[in-house]
A and B are shown apart, each in its own frame.
Chain A
């Protein structure tokens, strides 16, 4: 399909800009005036809509079908959320509006903070971080501020992270100026507590842990882990990527964690938009509250809501204003439609995952044979050994059956990993259809391996050459190779629609 730049013709346009008459026309200094216009597309409005509609037909979302992408919690995103976030009282509200003119927005944020504190079992919440990884970085900044105040920040330089962690954890450690201490996973899929004991001491600042882990397993030794860290005077950070497993069932604060981030775009239904936006609020124990980002959203004695900038020990700001407010509206709406029934959400997410696991574990390798939480990790290592079929081949073949593939090759400790997260919002018929497809693919691997090697067959493109893309990066349109686009308007050649 053509790029929008290849549909452009000089002189066409969709916009009409007000041009009030009789106004002053200030001259810009020559050195500051634009010398050559940007080559933005020139198309009429209906071509714009057709272009982006065609692009959308070449994309797959939760609204299109089953999307069991492990660790991403691709659940249904309620449409009411979109209607609410678009209300003019929210969408056209300026972030620097006087507090008196933003009471409804402030109240919504305060109420969301209260709900998140209850769900995580912690005392204070900052909604500011823009995504999970920014929540992590903010959490590590809080750790530093906490030990600064204790006069221990020079001494405590290490952050402990298990080998199953998301890549964001170690990357956040570096950005926060800390050093990484990796810890192994044991034969049951828990943190190796013996390995851990030797690595936690007076130089340790914190643990970063996802629980349930990226293996989809709840760490059975979580209480002992808490004793080890708190006994050494260190803090515990909870990566909330997998919170969908335990809402109303087990709270990070009760597990011993001091800082938690919540992925609003996973657990609480902010649509992921093809890559974002997200929301990564953090919840903390009372002892860490003084260091939270400013402004804090508070309720005053008289019942009105306000920003509190007067936090002398704050780490500062990690993002503009008070955070991604439109995301708060959507997640607040979602949480209010669940209320205390949130536990049922997690129960069904875990039930669905265990059902799919039970149906698939004979056909694929299961590295840790336990009941899973909201997701599980299979391995295609036997398929690879016996038939030369990799996790990538399985993933691509699933597309032919109309499903988005699971997460593959993660976590890193499982070879040929296939990480499946069905979420709570699926019918049993869909789960069964997915299981049937996975079982059929396992048979095809033995009988017709070329079907898998050549997959996908029906998508808008075949497998793409990623090595070529990285070796000779082409990261923007090469106008200079298409000089005709600068020429006078000419008749546009019709392009036969693909697949018709």
Chain B
């Protein structure tokens, strides 16, 4: 019976077996001890044709409420920014889509040059000297940075602000015991972090991680926080929203040692949590401690410019147990999506995008106060594209009630922050219109307590 992903004819098989010198395909498996031979057929549903598969999986997709089928203000780290068609067009080029890691540079100049251009874009955004070729997502790059900090300082305590994404904090705490790091959290005060509290916690710490804008959407006093880390001899690690960096200062300008973050907002679909890319960039002094792939420029034997994977003596396939990380597969294709997106935006587009987010979020805060009587939780703070509001009753119930009216009003913070059972985190990207924001206000006026 034929299969679309196989090619051998019966004649092919016979000739191949003859060349090998065996009677049957079964004989090829004679080195597998009889005791571990699988004695039956796999208990799986029968194979589907492409058309049957499409119908089945489409039916599964149709049972989800995506940002196209319901008006969504969900954010909390993953955002519904517009992904232009040029991103899809580039990422579907088979030469890029179906290539492996570029171990053979002469076969891979396309991907290598693209990564070099991506590294340049990330350094430009963050104000850093060196970027890697991407990490798994915005959480694991934070764990990677902790590994750098541990080995760069020899210290064994890590400080992370409570206003940093709960996903990031959970992943850092999962990795920390293996690194020999203890994790200490610094609470927020009215939505941002107090530099003096951070300075106290940072004594003897390997690093301080804070997020800008923070998880509540508020702008941290980032220069003071970075200074508090630096004064204590700790690395200042900034978790940044890449799309805020057209309007917000590059962390490299205020003393960050490492800048990292979730790249999804810049060029990837939400895709129910992945795959996305995490970006990680650092000052020059950390270049030989960087995890993962880095592409460098060089010359070929004819003197022409070209690109290669470089500084590979950091990496697991050379250095094994002494490597700076175990990462090998990363998120190159998604990072390429990020490069295409940032190229599409350009510096002007990035700034305008930031300004639009700022304006729409401010408008949303204003309308929720006017129409629904809901006040922003941290009303004294400047926010970027996201803000927290009290909704007067359990926020999960408010989400359920609003969804019945076709609006997903935001993320309920109760699971992550004790005492915030009645708080919603509302995200507003450039895809939301003032009319849609008015509709959110009207629905919340109905369903909030």
Contact B346 A13, beta carbon cutoff 8 Å: yes
Given known contacts A132-B328, A324-B273, A351-B25, A14 and B167 CB-to-CB distance under 8 angstroms: no
Q: In whole angstroms, what is the CA distance A270 to B239 when docked?
A: 29
CB-defined interface of B334-357 with A at 8 Å, one 1/0 digit per residue?
101000101111111111110110
Q: Contact partner of B274 among A121, A275, A320, CB < 8 A?
A: A320
Asked if B445 is at the interface of the complex by the 8 Å CB criterion, the answer is no
Q: In whole angstroms, what is the CA distance A12 to B131 when docked?
A: 26
Give every chain B residue within 8 A of A41 (Cβ-Cβ): 117, 121, 342-343, 346
Asked if B164 is at the interface of the complex by the 8 Å CB criterion, the answer is no
Contact A56 B246, beta carbon cutoff 8 Å: no
Asked if B45 is at the interface of the complex by the 8 Å CB criterion, the answer is yes
Q: In whole angstroms, what is the CA distance A12 to B349 when docked?
A: 10
Q: In whole angstroms, what is the CA distance A115 to B80 when docked?
A: 31
Q: Contact partner of B3 among A101, A344, A405, CB < 8 A?
A: A344
CB-defined interface of A465-494 with B at 8 Å, one 1/0 digit per residue?
110111001111100000000000000000
Stretch from B63-71, B194-202, B372-380 at the A interface: B63-71
> Quick one: which of B1-36 are within 8 Å of A by CB?
3-9, 12-13, 15-17, 19-22, 25, 27-33, 35-36
Give every chain A residue within 8 A of B270 (Cβ-Cβ): 91-95
Give every chain A residue within 8 A of B325 (Cβ-Cβ): 171, 175
Give every chain A residue within 8 A of B45 (Cβ-Cβ): 336, 339
Given known contacts A317-B174, A344-B3, A470-B296, A336 and B47 CB-to-CB distance under 8 angstroms: yes
Minimum CB–CB distance from A24 to chain B (whole Å) comes to 4
Contact A57 B110, beta carbon cutoff 8 Å: yes
Q: Which of A19, A141, A464 has the most CB of B within 10 A?
A: A464
Minimum CB–CB distance from A301 to chain B (whole Å) comes to 19
Give every chain A residue within 8 A of B175 (Cβ-Cβ): 175, 318
> Quick one: which of A89-135 are within 8 Å of B by CB?
89-98, 100-105, 107-108, 115, 118-119, 121, 130-134
Given known contacts A464-B300, A476-B130, A320 and B96 CB-to-CB distance under 8 angstroms: no
Contact A273 B99, beta carbon cutoff 8 Å: yes
Give every chain A residue within 8 A of B6 (Cβ-Cβ): 344-345, 348, 424-425
Asked if A172 is at the interface of the complex by the 8 Å CB criterion, the answer is yes
Contact A277 B47, beta carbon cutoff 8 Å: no
Stretch from A245-253, A281-289, A379-387, A439-447 at the B interface: A245-253
Minimum CB–CB distance from B255 to chain A (whole Å) comes to 12
Total cross-chain contacts (CB, 8 A)? 720
Give every chain A residue within 8 A of B392 (Cβ-Cβ): none
Asked if B280 is at the interface of the complex by the 8 Å CB criterion, the answer is no
Q: Contact partner of B47 among A37, A332, A338, A475, CB < 8 A?
A: A338
Contact B296 A461, beta carbon cutoff 8 Å: no
Minimum CB–CB distance from B104 to chain A (whole Å) comes to 6
Q: Contact partner of B96 among A136, A273, A469, CB < 8 A?
A: A273
Contact A274 B336, beta carbon cutoff 8 Å: yes
Contact B22 A371, beta carbon cutoff 8 Å: yes
Give every chain B residue within 8 A of A75 (Cβ-Cβ): 5
Q: Please report whether the interface of chain A is mostly helix, strand, loop or mixed according to DSSP.
A: loop
Q: In whole angstroms, what is the CA distance A278 to B329 when docked?
A: 6
Q: Which of B25, B80, B175 has the most CB of A within 10 A?
A: B175
Given known contacts A49-B90, A52-B90, A94-B78, A272 and B98 CB-to-CB distance under 8 angstroms: yes
CB-defined interface of B284-313 with A at 8 Å, one 1/0 digit per residue?
000100000111111111101011101111
Asked if B105 is at the interface of the complex by the 8 Å CB criterion, the answer is yes
Minimum CB–CB distance from B190 to chain A (whole Å) comes to 16
Give every chain A residue within 8 A of B25 (Cβ-Cβ): 347, 350-351
Contact A32 B99, beta carbon cutoff 8 Å: no
Q: In whole angstroms, what is the CA distance A5 to B408 when docked?
A: 40
Give every chain A residue within 8 A of B63 (Cβ-Cβ): 89, 103-104, 107
Minimum CB–CB distance from B420 to chain A (whole Å) comes to 15
Q: In whole angstroms, what is the CA distance A167 to B348 when docked?
A: 44
Give every chain B residue within 8 A of A115 (Cβ-Cβ): 44
Given known contacts A33-B249, A177-B180, A466-B310, A337 and B302 CB-to-CB distance under 8 angstroms: no
Contact B326 A171, beta carbon cutoff 8 Å: yes
Report the nearest A residue to B341, measured CB to CB.
A15
Contact A72 B100, beta carbon cutoff 8 Å: yes
Q: Can you list 10 residue pairs at the A/B interface with Cβ under 8 Å?
A: A89-B66, A130-B140, A166-B316, A275-B100, A277-B329, A324-B136, A326-B271, A399-B106, A463-B301, A477-B117
Given pairs A275-B100, A275-B133, A329-B57, 4 additional interface contacts (CB within 8 A): A24-B359, A62-B94, A274-B111, A460-B106
